[in-house]
Structure 1
Amino acid sequence: MDLHISRSSSDHQAYGSMSNKHQGKDVDVENSSTHLERGLHNRHLQFIAIGAAVGTGLFLGTGSALATAGPASLLIAFIFIATILYSVMTALGEMAAYIPVAGAFTNYASRFIDPTWGFSMGWIYWFSWSLTFALELTAAGLIIQYWNKSLSVGIWIAVFWFVFTLANFMPVRWFGEFEMWLSSIKVITIIGFLILSICINAGVGNSGRGYLGFKYWNDPGAFAQHLVDGSVGSFVGFWAVLITAGFSFQGSELVGIGAGETKDPEKSIPSAIRGTFWGVSGLFIFTVFFLGINIPYTNGDLTSDSQDASASPLVLVVQLAGIPVLPSIINAVLLTAVLTAANSDVYSSSRILVSLAESGHAPSIFRKTNRLGTPYYAVGACSCVGFLGFMNLSENGTVVFNWFLNIISVAGFIAWAIINYCHIRFMRALAAQNIPRSDLPYNAPLQPYLSWYGLFFNILIILTNGFEVFMNWDTSAFFTKYVSLLIFFVLLIGHKLWKRTKLVPLNEVDLVTGRFRSE
């Protein structure tokens, strides 16, 4: 049953009076069976998000993107996506600091827009992160084959599935520490790579190339032409890599998923939002910049189909400089990056499932927690999706898994667009209920213009992500590119017809349930 709570202004005042009896903390009466532990700190939120965001997209995907667009287009694409991410993160921060509930934005879609939007967004987002867990388990096995190709990928899928399922059954404060230390390894590695890249560009190494500077921006050039010639081809190359850039950044918004388990959310969430955005954006933008000045985009190794370190542009930079040993070290870090992402995937998907259950969109059993505050049914269900990774052991399974990959890529942009729209509705609801934004723990800047900016470009990228299909029509490729959007609309239309839900009136939007006010 869809759970929609409406309160008049008198109910709002009555509820506020009741909340004062609970030492200044608003209590979610309807969801009282869910007892998630508020054990996460600011640093935990940041590293959970970094753990999910910094993975195969940066370490592997940037190579083919550089070959497609060229160094300048790739850099501009990452900066452009960073501005969209900023609109999403600040919007999410304003809502999550005020109403820090499990699952955050999947809950907000039901409350601020329409239960149907919460249902559709929540399930496709849950599906994407659950599938990502299966993807990362498979990637981990392929990365290990860099050292020993005789061992089956299936062995490592099973081993890592057990490890990360067990990790997610731990108390959330232990999980947060575990994820923080794992994620810090790849952050340190990227920083080390940036320092090494500066040295290589200055002429360090045994390659004999000497000082590089912006040599490769002049020859073969800063902009690659894709599909068509001339300046139009350069723009096509830029637009073609936006999905790659977006996929790399996706996961940053997961800083809001842990809102319901955060200590002192009014202070921790805004700080975590800022830290995550600037940390992830800085790492990504500087990494693609140094890749672009140290590798010519015409290098054939950038388009390798390999899934291990040999396909990483970071390794290619080191190899071109004639520095031995480091490829194996980077492969080890790449493995760590994938494993931390897998760890974050189970946590995030399980909390999304909790949010769906609390909104009435999933069985209520997924709301249940043990004495440690862990939603054990939700964790168990989400970890089981990881077994889909074994599909890659069969030839036909690989085809299906590639479809799954496309669902993951675009589902993130759908979530970003809905977060922006939730925020627009949130601000309007505040105005309708005479609650000034100045009273909120955190105020998103440049509003409402920034949220409209993010909403517009997220929708535009979603609709045009498969534009190459229309230039050279391919029916199979069309469905592959737009499968996630099709699934979303099937969920949206199906739920709307079944439940007959309506847009929540602004004066009835629930701005009370789940609030946390510290003394």
Structure 2
Amino acid sequence: MKATEPWLPYPAGSAASVVTKKAGSDGGYGVRDDGADSTRQGELQRQLSGRHLNFIAIGGTIGTGFFLSTGTALTKAGPAGCLISYVFVGTMLWSVMVCLGEMATYMPTAGAFSAYATRFVDPSLGFAVGWLYWFAWAITYALSLTASGLIIQYWNPDVNIGILIAVFWVAFTLINYLPVGIYGELEMWLSSLKVITIVGFIIFAICMAAGAGQEGVLGFKYWHDPGPFAEYLVEGATGKFVGFWAVIIQAAFAYQGAELVGVGAGEARDPGKTVPRAIRVTFWGIMALFVVSIWLMGMVVPSSDPNLLSGSSNASGSPLVIAAQRAGVKVLPDIINAVLLTAVLSAANSNVYSGSRVLVALAEDGQAPGIFKKTNARGIPIYAVGVTAAFGLLGFLNLSAEGSKVFNWLLNITAVAGLTTWGSTCLSHLYFMRALKAQGIDRSSLPYISRFQPYTAIYGLFFNILVALTQGFTVFMDWNTSDFFAAYISLILFAVCWAGHKLWYRQPGVRPEEADLVRGRYDSHEELAVAAGPV
């Protein structure tokens, strides 16, 4: 008897048979041999451990944005304003992660965000969220490949970026066709280098603030001069608030990627245990690294340092390097540049993985061609990976001046994809709780229960919408039509996708008593063993 659900409660590929629950049946269990049916369409394999999920999310979050753009954040808001902004966005991320935790442990699905929006809220919302999120990762793959070439040019300006893009595209596309367990291991080691670098900077900055550098004891010197808050675009208190809000938007983009725990949940071993643990470790790990680093950057680098605004795409523009130069350490730029290279390669690795799994989720909900559900014997969605990876070739647009303009517009489309995903996750959780109540399922029976609901979800939903709507606010201070569309093209595209799907299919919103709380639901090993006997 073959299972009719797309999930596997045990790691696939083993010699043992696996017990799966028949969707829509009377609760009986069927036994299926993995080897006989390992190529079933839509069937991913549960090979990711908790540490894999942690580092997939950390690898997707800590990238060149952290190592480079934190410098511009410091100049916009000053050390105190920058720190408060990152802490505040951290609370937004927390609300998203705990909402995701409840749904992803109860119903671990690859590409979870679009699936939850489709099943609990509205199919049109799931369509818009899923396709925009997939497009964001597909285009970001091209960005990561291009950035790797620019970083390598720091050592050899004469190297051809086109060759580097081609080499890395082949390498990381092939990596994503390896078993997902191997992908998780590679991502773990690549991400570990970034974490080690940040921890090393924290230790270095503490020593520098204590007087180890050539500038003597710094302490909170730069919080007094040039001051804790910086003015941005306008003067006075208004300028300080503008700087604070500009960094909130920047921090929201910097934190994006932490939600990849939800993407990997569909391939996690024993998600009832590994996903909640991975969410806690990921959130607190990223939060601690970001907040402590931002706090120390404001202590060792003044917000008025002109090098922070260099706009360089390599190590020379990193606040970590600027701090080392001010301390008189000369070897650090090469080390940081090497870490930057590791960061973008790790991001490239995550881009294809996350994008392809979202495409699988869309296909399973009938919102993408069914061929994207097809997997090979190793559980890899071969066509979803191939189509997602193909977008990496758009990186070649940067080899010409006109092509780079097109590429930048494509990147603008992806800018708000993370915020729409975060917001839809909070909204989906509100509807998820409503469906549980309507169908008589006690929330206390969930594998993971978060605190302060539904207020946590409402908080996250409100501020994600607010930041998404105001992320291009500087356009209204100095109007430019081109800049307006560059800032809001992603929201316009999101609205078009939602409205187009709604008008074409005429599907109503999901009624709570009819929400799908069965398909993809995970039952623990113990429950399965009781029902079916020893495996």
| TM-score, normalization by structure 1 | 0.94
Given that residues 81 and 244 in structure 2 are in contact (C-alpha distance below 8 angstroms), is that contact kept between their aligned partners in structure 1? yes
Amino acid at match of 1:384: A
| Partner SS state of residue 220, structure 1 | coil
Q: Does 1:495 align with 2:495?
A: no
- Equivalent in the alignment of 1:435: 441
Distance change >3 Å, CA 320–CA 413, structure 1 → 2: same
Q: Equivalent of 1:89, from 94, 97, 118?
A: 97
Q: Equivalent of 1:412, from 407, 413, 418?
A: 418
**How far apart in 1 are the matches of 2:361 and 2:118?**
10
- Equivalent in the alignment of 2:228: 222
- Equivalent in the alignment of 1:144: 152
Q: Does 1:279 align with 2:285?
A: yes
- Equivalent in the alignment of 2:116: 108
Q: How far has the Cα of 1:355 moved from its partner?
A: 0.5
**How far apart in 1 are the matches of 2:299 and 2:403?**
38
Q: Does 1:356 align with 2:362?
A: yes
- Equivalent in the alignment of 2:18: none
Given that residues 57 and 244 in structure 1 are in contact (C-alpha distance below 8 angstroms), is that contact kept between their aligned partners in structure 2? no
Q: How far has the Cα of 1:401 moved from its partner?
A: 2.2
Q: Equivalent of 1:328, from 334, 344, 348?
A: 334
- Equivalent in the alignment of 2:136: 128
**How far apart in 1 are the matches of 2:138 and 2:277?**
27
Q: How far has the Cα of 1:22 moved from its partner?
A: 4.2
Q: How far has the Cα of 1:104 moved from its partner?
A: 1.0
Amino acid at match of 2:110: A
Q: How far has the Cα of 1:342 moved from its partner?
A: 0.7
Given that residues 22 and 30 in structure 2 are in contact (C-alpha distance below 8 angstroms), is that contact kept between their aligned partners in structure 1? no
Q: Equivalent of 1:64, from 72, 78, 94?
A: 72
Q: How far has the Cα of 1:408 moved from its partner?
A: 2.5
Encode CA deviations 1:473-513: one digit per residue, 9 max, x unaligned.
11111001001000000101111111101101000000000
Identity of aligned residues (%): 58
Given that residues 22 and 29 in structure 2 are in contact (C-alpha distance below 8 angstroms), is that contact kept between their aligned partners in structure 1? no
- Equivalent in the alignment of 1:213: 219
- Equivalent in the alignment of 1:8: none
Q: Equivalent of 2:207, from 199, 203, 216?
A: 199
- Equivalent in the alignment of 2:176: 168
| Partner SS state of residue 450, structure 2 | coil
5+ residue gaps, structure 1, are: 1-12, 25-30
**How far apart in 2 are the matches of 1:409 and 1:244?**
10
**How far apart in 2 are the matches of 1:144 and 1:15?**
51
Write out aligned runs for 1:286-305 (5 A).
Answer: 286-305=292-311
Amino acid at match of 1:386: G
| Partner SS state of residue 70, structure 1 | helix
Encode CA deviations 1:400-445: one digit per residue, 9 max, x unaligned.
2222332222111111000000000001110111101100000011
Amino acid at match of 1:362: A
| Partner SS state of residue 357, structure 1 | helix
Given that residues 49 and 276 in structure 1 are in contact (C-alpha distance below 8 angstroms), is that contact kept between their aligned partners in structure 2? yes
Given that residues 23 and 519 in structure 2 are in contact (C-alpha distance below 8 angstroms), is that contact kept between their aligned partners in structure 1? no
Q: How far has the Cα of 1:153 moved from its partner?
A: 1.2
Amino acid at match of 2:124: T
**How far apart in 2 are the matches of 1:450 and 1:294?**
35
Given that residues 144 and 335 in structure 1 are in contact (C-alpha distance below 8 angstroms), is that contact kept between their aligned partners in structure 2? yes
**How far apart in 2 are the matches of 1:421 and 1:506?**
13
**How far apart in 2 are the matches of 1:37 and 1:149?**
43
Encode CA deviations 1:199-254: one digit per residue, 9 max, x unaligned.
1111113x3x1000000010001100112211111111000112210111000001
5+ residue gaps, structure 2, are: 1-20, 33-38, 527-535
Encode CA deviations 1:251-293: one digit per residue, 9 max, x unaligned.
0001100111111000010000001100111111111111111
| Partner SS state of residue 388, structure 2 | helix
Given that residues 243 and 409 in structure 1 are in contact (C-alpha distance below 8 angstroms), is that contact kept between their aligned partners in structure 2? no
Q: How far has the Cα of 1:35 moved from its partner?
A: 1.6
Given that residues 411 and 484 in structure 1 are in contact (C-alpha distance below 8 angstroms), is that contact kept between their aligned partners in structure 2? yes
| Partner SS state of residue 352, structure 2 | helix
| Partner SS state of residue 130, structure 2 | helix
Distance change >3 Å, CA 15–CA 182, structure 1 → 2: closer
Q: Equivalent of 1:422, from 428, 448, 461?
A: 428
Encode CA deviations 1:65-97: one digit per residue, 9 max, x unaligned.
111111111111100000000000000010000
**How far apart in 1 are the matches of 2:271 and 2:255?**
23
Write out aligned runs for 1:370-389 (5 A).
Answer: 370-389=376-395
Amino acid at match of 1:224: A
Q: Which has the higher contact order (CA 8 A, sep 6+)?
A: 1
| TM-score, normalization by structure 2 | 0.91
Amino acid at match of 2:177: F
Q: How far has the Cα of 1:33 moved from its partner?
A: 2.6
Q: How far has the Cα of 1:16 moved from its partner?
A: 7.3
- Equivalent in the alignment of 2:469: 463
Amino acid at match of 1:190: I
- Equivalent in the alignment of 1:53: 61
Q: How far has the Cα of 1:14 moved from its partner?
A: 9.6
**How far apart in 2 are the matches of 1:15 and 1:313?**
53
Given that residues 40 and 374 in structure 2 are in contact (C-alpha distance below 8 angstroms), is that contact kept between their aligned partners in structure 1? no
- Equivalent in the alignment of 1:39: 47
Equivalenced residue count is 499
- Equivalent in the alignment of 1:3: none
* TM-align CA RMSD: 1.5
Amino acid at match of 2:93: L
Q: Does 1:187 align with 2:195?
A: yes
Encode CA deviations 1:92-129: one digit per residue, 9 max, x unaligned.
01000000111111111110011111111000000001
Q: How far has the Cα of 1:38 moved from its partner?
A: 0.5
Given that residues 193 and 339 in structure 2 are in contact (C-alpha distance below 8 angstroms), is that contact kept between their aligned partners in structure 1? yes
Given that residues 433 and 507 in structure 1 are in contact (C-alpha distance below 8 angstroms), is that contact kept between their aligned partners in structure 2? yes
| Partner SS state of residue 212, structure 2 | coil
Amino acid at match of 2:96: V
- Equivalent in the alignment of 2:323: 317
